[in-house]
Amino acid sequence: MSVTRITVKGEHPYDVVVGSGVQAELPGLLKPGVRTVAVVHPQGLPELAAPVREALAGAGYEVAALPVPDGEACKTAEVAAGLWSAFGRHGMTRSDAVVGVGGGATTDLAGFVAATWLRGVQVVLVPTTLLAMVDAAVGGKNGIDTPEGKNLVGTFLPPAGVLCDLDALAGMLKADYVAGLAEIIKGGWIADPVILDLVEADPEGATRPDGPHTRELIERKIRVKADVVGADLRESGLREILNYGHTLAHAIERNEHYTIRHGEAVAIGMVYAAELSRLAGRLDPALVERTRAVLTSVGLPVSYDAAAWPRLRDHMRLDKKNRGAKQRFVVLDGLARPGRLEAPDEELLEAAYREISR
């Protein structure tokens, strides 16, 4: 299969390499001068890191394999501190590199520790889940969680490159794969409606790594994100549109103690944002129903517990888009027409939640 290179522009441009069996491309993504490479990977999935270690060792690098807890449990200050200590023991200098292998949580962590070790060393990300390929690993936004919320401590550090080996998707649990579709579908709503057309044309095929439109869906979503973050790395304006559905989603994740899949929370959050857009007089009701239809067609949730609203509302007040006490939501003014809703009335927020309550 051919290799696709999608360039993320900006002050420090880099390529996202997409294809099957593309591990041999990895050493070429590292900048010259690297001696030691720290490979950060989930401890429960050492097989993910094996081909990465082999490719790097074959290219002459000294490789340090550094396992971390699986999933969101790795995104803590304690785990980050453990990696910093490991970097010191392995004598990592500013000319060395970190490679993050795994899902979105692992790539978030790898980017964060790379950005903070010696005030920044290069990082290459090798996402192995659908969610990480189309979202978490692309964009240079890295972070860890605190008890108060998700991704509240973070950095901006564009990677030296991103390697998306589509073969890695074959081993995913179907529920995890479907959850990753939420971020792809989000890309359809905010920027590329062809994504929605492809999902609607074959919902069952969209839920499979070997589906007829899988590669096109992945590449389209990566291009959406590449275009946005290339123009706005530090989320000063345009990049906020990538948070469509995420204000409520992050609140749901915290309410569930991060046991719910991110994509499932985003799916619910998108329906909430669509309802909020409709009630604010900004979105056609038919597009709200299309939101529900597309998500349910691939098996994603579209509603949440009615009794949870007071807790969710408290969590939503600690959101990265907020400015002071002013709450800000990404909404839609139409298909592929994202906008912002600032300081909405509490009654409006609650009314939108009632529309997705069960």
Question: Out of 235, 240, 264, 275, which one is annotated catalytic?
Answer: 235
Whether 12 sits among the annotated catalytic residues: the reply is no
Q: Where are the alpha helices (DSSP H) in the chain?
A: 26-29, 46-58, 77-89, 104-116, 130-131, 174-190, 194-201, 203-206, 214-231, 246-255, 262-279, 285-297, 309-316, 346-356
Per the annotation, the verdict on 253 as an active-site residue is: no
Q: Would residue 250 show up in a list of annotated catalytic residues for this protein?
A: yes
Told to judge if 315 belongs to the known catalytic residues of this protein, a careful annotator would answer no
Q: Which of 225, 261, 278, 320 is catalytic?
A: 225
Single-letter amino acid code for the residue at 326: K
Among 41, 53, 141, 261, the one annotated catalytic: 141
Strand, coil or helix: what is 63?
Answer: strand
Q: Which of 41, 186, 243, 261 is catalytic?
A: 243
For residue 213, indicate whether it is catalytic: no
Active site residue 11: no
What is the SS3 string spanning 208-243? CCCCCCHHHHHHHHHHHHHHHHHHCCCCCCHHHHHH
Neighbours of 183 (CB within 10 A): 26
Catalytic residue among 41, 53, 223, 246: 246
Per the annotation, the verdict on 282 as an active-site residue is no
Q: What burial class does residue 325 get, using C-beta atoms within 10 Å of its C-beta: 0-12 exposed, 13-18 middle, 19+ buried?
A: exposed
Q: Report residue 295: phi and psi, to 5°.
A: -65, -45
Give catalytic status of residue 347 as yes or no: no
| 186 classed as catalytic | no
216 belongs to the catalytic site: no
State in Å, rounded, how far the first CA of the chain is from the last one. 45
The residue from 215, 220, 221, 239 that is catalytic is: 239
Question: Which segments of 46-202 does DSSP mark as H helices, in order?
Answer: 46-58, 77-89, 104-116, 130-131, 174-190, 194-201
- Whether residue 144 contacts residue 76, with contact meaning beta carbons closer than 8 Å, is answered with yes
Of the listed 250, 254, 292, 315, which one is catalytic?
250
d(CA 118, CA 221): 33
Distance of alpha carbon 318 from alpha carbon 63, whole angstroms: 39
Q: Which residues are annotated as a binding site for NAD(+)?
A: 70-75, 104-108, 128-129, 141, 150
* Phi, psi dihedral angles at 91 (to 5 degrees): 65, 35
Candidate list 53, 213, 223, 262, residue with the active-site label: 262
- Binding residues for Zn(2+), by number, are 183, 246, 262
Q: How many CB atoms lie within 10 A of CB 30?
A: 20
The residues carrying an active-site annotation are 119, 141, 183, 225, 235, 239, 243, 246, 250, 262
